[in-house]
Amino acid sequence: MKTRMTELLGIKHPIMLAGMAFVSLPKLVAAVSNAGGIGMLNSVAYTPDQVKGVIREVKDLTDKPFGVNATLILPNGRENIAVALEEKVPILNYALGKGDWIIKAAHEYGGKVLATVAIEKHARRAEMDGADALVVTGHEAAAHGAEVGTLVLIPSIARQSKLPIIAAGGFCDGRGLAAALVLGADGISMGTRLMLTQECEMHQKAKELSLKATAEDTICSEKIDGLPGRWLKNPAAIKMAEGKPSLFEAFSSALRIKRLINVPFYKLILGGLKQRGVQDLARQALSLKGLKAAIDNGDLETGVLPIGQAIGLMKDIPTCKEVMERTVSEAEELVEALRKKITS
Ligand SMILES: Cc1cc2nc3c(=O)[nH]c(=O)nc-3n(C[C@H](O)[C@H](O)[C@H](O)COP(=O)(O)O)c2cc1C
């Protein structure tokens, strides 16, 4: 299937692996790229020193295009993208921040930049800054979407923008891909679907327990990691959504983040306070600790896990290649069937 997304990124299938913290790691990134989609490495788990080695690890596993994703307001976000630019990574994907400097630097070596947005204003800003495509994320998505759902957000941004659009939030199959194309997108990004694949290194127990969830088993709260986001509705997420971390928790949590992702303590405190305040700093750290517990140990009692509503449509743990191939062939069949349905 050829679309503006496949042409822009030089890939076979119009499907992107979402940059998921502690999930979109080299093995999964390479599996998606090797299967014809675009793998997107999430850099939040790494220091700038480490990220260079990790990018090279991906290059050893695939000779296909791949990208590096960073959330610019998180510790190390800007620094890690700067390393990806030095390494001339073909695709850069940024979220939650201003990316004009990334676009300028990437274009100097022929790199392409995808801006992740969840509201119209940010889409307009990214287009003015010179982004090559938009990853437009609707309310159904795991983690940080905004208020408007995919069904309305995609056409409303497609109507205003000339850029290729990669639709995110709720996509897991061919029906979703066909719908995204009809809504005005040029392809899709999948987070939750590709997290539940054989190549994803998340603990098997977490994959199996997640599969039992329905579309209604998610919770949206800004109190889990300090930003509005969607998580699996489990005991830990419910408790965190109701709670208010203390000053003590804020500082002990900041120490924990420092250990987890090796950020200088002063930078963490100053950055955290400037952007988000003490309680959100604590929430960020507690959610990172919970996310590690879910992903590394399969602990979905005390751990927390971002998960999209599309979880309710999933029934298996396939390979990335299976996801790519069946998504595209199902979308093609559905488009044909639709033609017959409306003309007969
Ligand atoms: C475990 C997990 C971690 C995530 N971490 C991030 C992140 O660090 N930065 C980011 O921009 N999005 C993150 N996301 C959101 C995805 O990038 C993407 O927007 C979302 O998964 C799309 O919705 P879907 O899950 O319905 O496919 C994460 C999602 C999951 C499931």
DSSP per-residue string spanning 205-268: HHHHHHHT--TT-EEEESTTTSS-EEEE--HHHHHHHH----HHHHHHHHHHHHHHH---HHHH
- Out of 16, 94, 144, mutate this one to test ligand 1's pocket (max ligand atoms within 8 Å of CB): namely 144
Of residues 190 and 258, the one with the higher pLDDT is 190
pLDDT digits over 314-332, tens only? 999 999 999 999 999 999 9
φ and ψ at residue 226, rounded to 5 degrees: 95, -5
Residue 42 CA, closest ligand 1 atom number: 8
pLDDT category at 289 given cuts 50, 70, 90 is confident
Of residues 147 and 274, the one with the higher pLDDT is 147
Residue 253 confidence (pLDDT):
66
User: What distance in Å separates the CA atoms of residue 69 and residue 77, rounded to the nearest whole number?
Assistant: 9
Residue 273 confidence (pLDDT):
54
Does the CB atom of residue 142 touch ligand 1 within 6 A?
A: yes
pLDDT digits over 242-253, tens only? 877 666 666 666
Residue 260 confidence (pLDDT):
65
Does the CB atom of residue 221 touch ligand 1 within 6 A?
A: no
Same domain, 171 and 250: no
Tally of residues, the chain: 344
Residue 45 confidence (pLDDT):
83
Comparing CA positions, the residue from 58, 61, 103, 59 lying closest to residue 85 is 103
Q: What's the mean pLDDT when you consider all of the chain?
A: 92
Does the CB atom of residue 96 touch ligand 1 within 6 A?
A: no
Determine whether 54 is exposed, middle or buried from the number of CB atoms within 10 Å of its CB (0-12, 13-18, 19+).
Answer: buried
pLDDT digits over 144-179, tens only? 888 999 999 999 999 999 999 999 999 999 999 999
Q: The sheet that has 165-168: what strands, in order across it?
A: 15-17, 187-190, 165-168, 133-137, 112-117, 91-95, 66-71, 39-42
Domain count, the chain: 2
Does the CB atom of residue 176 touch ligand 1 within 6 A?
A: no
Domain containing 173: what range?
4-202
Same domain, 184 and 225: no
Residue 76 confidence (pLDDT):
87
Same domain, 165 and 262: no
Same domain, 263 and 119: no
| Best-predicted range by mean pLDDT (44-53, 208-217, 267-276) | 208-217
Extract the runs of DSSP E, i.e. beta strands, from the chain: 15-17, 39-42, 66-71, 91-95, 112-117, 133-137, 165-168, 187-190, 218-221, 229-232
Same domain, 219 and 157: no
Domain boundary residue, one of 202, 230, 262: 202
Q: Residue 41's domain is classified under what CATH number?
A: 3.20.20.70
Residue 295 CA, closest ligand 1 atom number: 1
Q: Mean of the pLDDT values across residues 211-237? A: 94
If you measure from the C-alpha of residue 18 to the centroid of ligand 1, how many angstroms do you get, rounded to a whole number? 6
pTM: 0.93
Weakest-pLDDT range from 61-65, 269-273, 319-323 = 269-273
Determine whether 252 is exposed, middle or buried from the number of CB atoms within 10 Å of its CB (0-12, 13-18, 19+).
Answer: middle
Same domain, 19 and 61: yes
If you measure from the C-alpha of residue 339 to the centroid of ligand 1, how many angstroms do you get, rounded to a whole number? 33
Q: Is the pLDDT of residue 193 over 90?
A: yes
User: What distance in Å separates the CA atoms of residue 272 and residue 236, rounded to the nearest whole number?
Assistant: 23
Same domain, 240 and 198: no
Residue 286 confidence (pLDDT):
83
Same domain, 135 and 198: yes
